[in-house]
A and B are shown apart, each in its own frame.
Chain A
Amino acid sequence: MKLLNRKLFRDISHNWTQFMSVFLMAALSIIVFVGLQGAWHGLQESLNSYLTENRLPNYWIQGSYITKDDKNKLKAISGIKKVRSGTRLQVKQDKHHLIIDSFQKPLIKLHRVKGDKYNSQSGDGIWINKEYARDHSLKIGDNVSVTYANQKFHLKVEGIIQSPSRIYFTGTQEFIAPNYANYGYAYVSPKTLKKVFNYKGPQNIVEIDGKHNNLRKEVEKIFGARLLTYYNQQTLPDVSTATERVGEIKNLSYLFSFIFLLLAILAMYTTIRRLITSQTEEIATLKALGFSSFKIQIHYASFGLLVGGLGTIIGALVAPLISWYVLSSQKSMFSLPNWQISYNFSAWMVMILVIFICVFSAYLAARSGSKGLPAIYLRGIEETKARKIWLEHWKNLWKHLPYSGRWAIRDAFINRTRTLMGIIGVAGGMMLTIAGIGMPQSMTHLVDKAYNTDFSYNKRLYVNNYESYRKAHPQAKQWVQISQAHFSPDDGYNRLLIVVNKGDYVNMKTTTGGDIQNGGLYVTHGFAKRAGIKKGDNLKVKTFGSNKQYSFKVKGIIATETNQGAYITAHTWQKAKGFYQPTTLLVGKNYKYHKQDINSTISINEQKKNAYNFVNSLMSIFALIIVFGALLIIIVLYNLGSLSFVERTRDYATLRVLGIHKKELRILTLIENLITTFIGWLIGIPAGIWFLGQYVNTFSTINLEYTRYYNWETILIASLFVWICSLSTTLFISRRIKKIDMVQALKGVE
């Protein structure tokens, strides 16, 4: 066995190019699967431990006021364990916005980054969130001036904190990504609220620990018109965006790994089988010397074990780098105290599977090559089973093909597994490239569409008082009222009802290209899809802050990605006697206003910039996809080209002897890969468009519906990329023509 092992190492070193592709495919499969798993599982573990240790509430309620009676009623609901009420104020620090919460006994345990832990007895202290403090260079002991109700108050920074219910804090629903330069959150004690702010108002927020199967209904019953917002862990974007990201990366890893594993299996099987077939005579010699079939099979299975095992080990060693790379790209988006990479048993399973495939492929090939008497093999191997193919029935087409083309096409049909591997490899690479290019394009399109087409305002003004502003500025438009609403039927989540008045800044279209008009409700596509709502259905609406329920006919489905809910004209809403007190005024570039009339403003450019930040946070993942797409094409085509070259070396040498120039031979070697690339590329286009749709969909959330976007440029760039990868790989392989030894052609069949 010792000498057989020596043979094993020498065989591998002599055929290293073929084994290299098996090694790389095994390594890449592990890198992709385990690398991405490290990221999503790590994020999941980090989230789980953070949310569990810091006691994330199950429900959040905001009302115009909260009474003791409300709390008692909530506590009496079955499954509810703890109910804590507090106060939420929106204050300004210079021009920036801070949301301040105050609890006597907060349900959640704030994570202390620096300074003291939250103290509900503090006199003038403030606990500010880590990222806001970082962006505004706030340190422990600093004095912070905040403005509330036109009065300025001074607080001392006592702690820098992170809250588990603010992992993905955007500050306002108008932004889709965190914007800590302008929005932060903080905690102060009730004592500070009373002493410093002189706040005498009621409590307005509740955090609940416990489980109930329809708490929304109970809460609506208890609070009635006082209910302003209701969230659970799935609907609070500050938490759900993070938990959904786990699923997004997880789906991505499965989508990715499926392609890689499929190709790895094919590559490993074809390569190992080919190598062992070329060693038939050696197998026969070993048998003639007296080695048992079992020993020979074990010897050849160890090729798979060594190469597959080495690839798996290297893949497993590199995988944490991918995990860290992906996780690092998420750090700017999510506020977590600890980031860890973590793997579960399926990583081990995939590693074992990859090694098993390599060993089993080698074993199967060796078994078929070691059956029977040695003399059969010593007589020599049978020539390839060449035959006519169905394409030859089209005589007019076939007879016009050059002989080299006929040769390549027949070879492709005869070596089906090898050809299939090439086609899947190129199609897979094309799929990944279209997805890699199309994904940022889809996201950028979403931003462009939302802030250039669907909405065309320059600024959103939040007025202090609608009635007085309207009277003073009767020409001002376009007014928009945005409220949380409970639709029936729905998908179980509260959504936005957007009441739009006359104006030119809300331009979204229906799926059939129509405008929002009087006479009914327009439901956004994402919401309609999730809730199964169709045009012509009747939908009941109850906005938070009101007890009344309205019924409307669905007049159209709106093709918009943001603000999932429903749109209605102010005329239709008022005609149905809906409460209409809008606070948002959308204005154009040259609109003049008095600052004292306005509570706050958001410019569309700020929103755009924020949305692009969100897209950029995912860029590294998209880049990763493109890199892996390229690697896939290169490795698969290199392997395919090498196999084909090895099999044809003798034929190429013969042709050289017959007088074919190297350049002519090089063209000949290109043909098979070009055919494979062409078919793979052709299949890859629709497959890539489909994959992009699936891939984009994994990023859709309750509030944002990502839709696939691509154009001819996407296909063109992806095609160029795939063809360049393919041609350069094929040309690289064809360099071997220089090394063809013509004398070999004159020797007998080995």
Chain B
Amino acid sequence: MIEFEKIDKEYHVGDQVVKALHEVSFKIEQGKLTIILGPSGSGKSTLLNILGGMDRPTRGTVKFNDQLVSRLNDHELTNYRRKAVGFVFQFYNLIPSLTALENVAIAAQLNNNDHQAEGYLRQVGLSERLNNFPNQMSGGEMQRVSIARALSKKPELLLCDEPTGALDSKTSIKIMKILQDISKSNETAVVMVTHNPKFEQYADHVIRLKDGQIEKIYDNKSPKIVEKI
């Protein structure tokens, strides 16, 4: 579904060239939970930005269902993000003046799907909090709204940037369960970026990064089901 082939990403900082990614190649499949692991500065965010069509690689190709994402112009990249990708942010990035329902609906209407906004909130267990503003919710609830917002676009690819990074361990597990369920039931490819190795056990597919290069890629033959923990 998504194929990274010999991806290089370089940044120019003053006179220096910083290599954020070097010859990174991997595949991501539909209905799988992929976890990208790595310490700070390993290139996780850069990789996520390229996956999400927010940045272009310096060299190499990114294919999404045979479409060359790395060659798309700005307008086409926006369409790619609009139709194919859903985002879950570390700090939720909800619009403070919109209620939970409105936050989901504003994204859902991009795909003429706003009438189903309430359903997505129910799916993440927030049927009681539809009309609450972000400042009236806990971190876990806000992250669930953020997930509902991402799902409301019916994405083929759900990208999650440290989705549990601002949450306590109990809430983190709840979020993890939702993401795992999504990958199983919605036939969506879920990609989660994290520095926390404890999540490795839940993934179908693990990509370990170090200094901008792939340290290890492997499939988890029997990923743990969150519910059972």
Contact A654 B89 (CB under 8 A): yes
**Which residues from A are CB-within-8-Å of B81?**
657-659
Is there a chain A Cβ closer than 8 Å to B134's Cβ? yes
**Which residues from B are CB-within-8-Å of A643?**
none
Q: Which of B48, B110, B134 contacts A386 (CB 8 A)?
A: B134
Interface residues of A in 707-750 (CB under 8 A from B): 742-743, 745-746, 748-749
**Binding stretch for chain B, among A401-409, A458-466, A679-687:** A401-409
Contact A746 B89 (CB under 8 A): yes
Contact A745 B93 (CB under 8 A): yes
Interface residues of A in 616-659 (CB under 8 A from B): 650-651, 654-659
Is there a chain B Cβ closer than 8 Å to A411's Cβ? yes
Contact A410 B97 (CB under 8 A): yes
A394 CB → nearest B CB, Å: 16
**Which residues from B are CB-within-8-Å of A404?**
106
**Which residues from B are CB-within-8-Å of A410?**
97-98
Is there a chain B Cβ closer than 8 Å to A382's Cβ? yes
Contact A748 B91 (CB under 8 A): yes
Contact B91 A386 (CB under 8 A): no
Interface residues of B in 157-199 (CB under 8 A from A): 161, 165-166
Contact B153 A658 (CB under 8 A): yes
**Which residues from A are CB-within-8-Å of B201?**
none
Is there a chain A Cβ closer than 8 Å to B55's Cβ? yes
If A658-B87, A743-B49 touch, whether A407 touches B110 (CB-CB below 8 Å) is no
Contact B135 A385 (CB under 8 A): yes
Interface string of B115-130 (1 = CB under 8 A from A): 0000000000000000
* CB-nearest residue of chain A to B136: A386
Interface string of A656-667 (1 = CB under 8 A from B): 111111100000
If A386-B135, A659-B78, A746-B90 touch, whether A407 touches B97 (CB-CB below 8 Å) is yes
Interface string of B77-98 (1 = CB under 8 A from A): 0111111010101110101111
* CB-nearest residue of chain B to A387: B133
* CB-nearest residue of chain B to A403: B106
Contact B85 A746 (CB under 8 A): no
* CB-nearest residue of chain B to A658: B107
Is there a chain B Cβ closer than 8 Å to A384's Cβ? yes
Is there a chain A Cβ closer than 8 Å to B52's Cβ? yes
* CB-nearest residue of chain A to B86: A658
If A382-B135, A659-B85, A746-B90 touch, whether A414 touches B97 (CB-CB below 8 Å) is yes
Q: How many Cβ-Cβ contacts under 8 Å join chain A to chain B?
A: 91
If A403-B109, A743-B55, A746-B89 touch, whether A659 touches B79 (CB-CB below 8 Å) is yes
Q: Once the chains are docked, how many angstroms separate the CA of A726 from the CA of B155?
A: 39
Is there a chain B Cβ closer than 8 Å to A69's Cβ? no
Is there a chain A Cβ closer than 8 Å to B102's Cβ? yes
Q: Once the chains are docked, how many angstroms separate the CA of A658 from the CA of B89?
A: 11
Contact B54 A657 (CB under 8 A): yes
* CB-nearest residue of chain A to B46: A743
* CB-nearest residue of chain A to B149: A658
A492 CB → nearest B CB, Å: 62
**Which residues from B are CB-within-8-Å of A748?**
90-91, 165-166
Interface string of A388-428 (1 = CB under 8 A from B): 00000000000000011011001100100000000000000
Is there a chain A Cβ closer than 8 Å to B209's Cβ? no
**Which residues from B are CB-within-8-Å of A385?**
135
Contact B134 A406 (CB under 8 A): no
Contact A742 B54 (CB under 8 A): yes
**Which residues from A are CB-within-8-Å of B107?**
658
SS class, residues of chain A in contact with chain B: helix
Q: Which of A406, A743, A749 contacts B98 (CB 8 A)?
A: A406
Q: Once the chains are docked, how many angstroms separate the CA of A383 from the CA of B93?
A: 11
Contact B135 A661 (CB under 8 A): no
Is there a chain A Cβ closer than 8 Å to B75's Cβ? yes
Interface string of B29-57 (1 = CB under 8 A from A): 00000000000000001001100101100
Q: Once the chains are docked, how many angstroms separate the CA of A414 from the CA of B80?
A: 35
**Which residues from B are CB-within-8-Å of A383?**
96, 134-135
Contact B90 A407 (CB under 8 A): no
B205 CB → nearest A CB, Å: 22
A378 CB → nearest B CB, Å: 15
* CB-nearest residue of chain A to B83: A659
Q: Once the chains are docked, how many angstroms separate the CA of A742 from the CA of B77?
A: 12
Is there a chain A Cβ closer than 8 Å to B105's Cβ? yes
If A384-B135, A387-B133 touch, whether A746 touches B49 (CB-CB below 8 Å) is yes
Contact B161 A746 (CB under 8 A): yes
Contact A661 B75 (CB under 8 A): yes
B55 CB → nearest A CB, Å: 7
Q: Once the chains are docked, how many angstroms separate the CA of A746 from the CA of B79?
A: 19
**Which residues from A are CB-within-8-Å of B87?**
657-658, 746
* CB-nearest residue of chain B to A383: B135
If A383-B134, A386-B135, A658-B81 touch, whether A403 touches B98 (CB-CB below 8 Å) is yes
**Which residues from A are CB-within-8-Å of B133?**
386-387
A665 CB → nearest B CB, Å: 10
Q: Once the chains are docked, how many angstroms separate the CA of A382 from the CA of B110?
A: 29
**Which residues from A are CB-within-8-Å of B165?**
748
Q: Once the chains are docked, how many angstroms separate the CA of A387 from the CA of B97?
A: 7
Interface string of B130-149 (1 = CB under 8 A from A): 00011100000000000001
Interface residues of A in 285-314 (CB under 8 A from B): none
Contact A657 B52 (CB under 8 A): yes
Q: Once the chains are docked, how many angstroms separate the CA of A121 from the CA of B5?
A: 112
Q: Which of A414, A658, A662, A746 contacts B110 (CB 8 A)?
A: A658
Q: Which of A384, A651, A658 contacts B82 (CB 8 A)?
A: A658
Contact A659 B110 (CB under 8 A): yes
Point out which of B80, B83, B87, B96 has the most chain A C-beta atoms below 10 A from its C-beta: B96
If A658-B107, A659-B81, A661-B75 touch, whether A749 touches B97 (CB-CB below 8 Å) is no
* CB-nearest residue of chain B to A659: B82
**Which residues from A are CB-within-8-Å of B95?**
407, 651, 654
Q: Once the chains are docked, how many angstroms separate the CA of A385 from the CA of B105?
A: 21
A750 CB → nearest B CB, Å: 10
Contact A746 B45 (CB under 8 A): yes
Q: Once the chains are docked, how many angstroms separate the CA of A455 from the CA of B45?
A: 83
**Which residues from B are CB-within-8-Å of A749?**
91
**Which residues from A are CB-within-8-Å of B110?**
658-660
**Which residues from A are CB-within-8-Å of B54?**
657, 742-743, 746
A462 CB → nearest B CB, Å: 75
Q: Once the chains are docked, how many angstroms separate the CA of A656 from the CA of B109?
A: 14
If A659-B83, A743-B55 touch, whether A386 touches B97 (CB-CB below 8 Å) is yes
Point out which of A655, A659, A745 has the most chain B C-beta atoms below 10 A from its C-beta: A659
A418 CB → nearest B CB, Å: 13
**Which residues from B are CB-within-8-Å of A660?**
78, 82, 110
Q: Once the chains are docked, how many angstroms separate the CA of A301 from the CA of B138?
A: 36
**Which residues from A are CB-within-8-Å of B83?**
659
Contact A403 B93 (CB under 8 A): no
Q: Once the chains are docked, how many angstroms separate the CA of A69 from the CA of B134?
A: 95
B168 CB → nearest A CB, Å: 15
* CB-nearest residue of chain B to A415: B97
Interface string of A340-381 (1 = CB under 8 A from B): 000000000000000000000000000000000000000000
* CB-nearest residue of chain A to B101: A403
**Which residues from B are CB-within-8-Å of A659?**
78-83, 85, 110, 153
Q: Once the chains are docked, how many angstroms separate the CA of A369 from the CA of B137?
A: 25
Q: Once the chains are docked, how many angstroms separate the CA of A658 from the CA of B78?
A: 8
14 contacts between A and B (CB under 8 A): A384-B135, A386-B96, A387-B133, A403-B98, A403-B114, A407-B98, A407-B106, A654-B95, A658-B87, A659-B81, A659-B110, A661-B78, A746-B45, A748-B165
Q: A661-B78, A742-B49 are in contact. List 16 more A-B contacts (CB 8 A).
A: A382-B135, A383-B134, A384-B135, A386-B96, A406-B97, A407-B98, A407-B106, A650-B93, A651-B95, A654-B93, A654-B95, A659-B78, A743-B49, A746-B90, A746-B161, A749-B91
Across the A-B interface, the 7 shortest Cβ-Cβ residue pairs? A659-B82, A410-B97, A386-B133, A659-B81, A403-B106, A654-B93, A384-B96
Spell out B's residues near A (CB within 8 Å): 45, 48-49, 52, 54-55, 75, 78-83, 85, 87, 89-91, 93, 95-98, 102, 105-107, 109-110, 114, 133-135, 149, 153, 161, 165-166
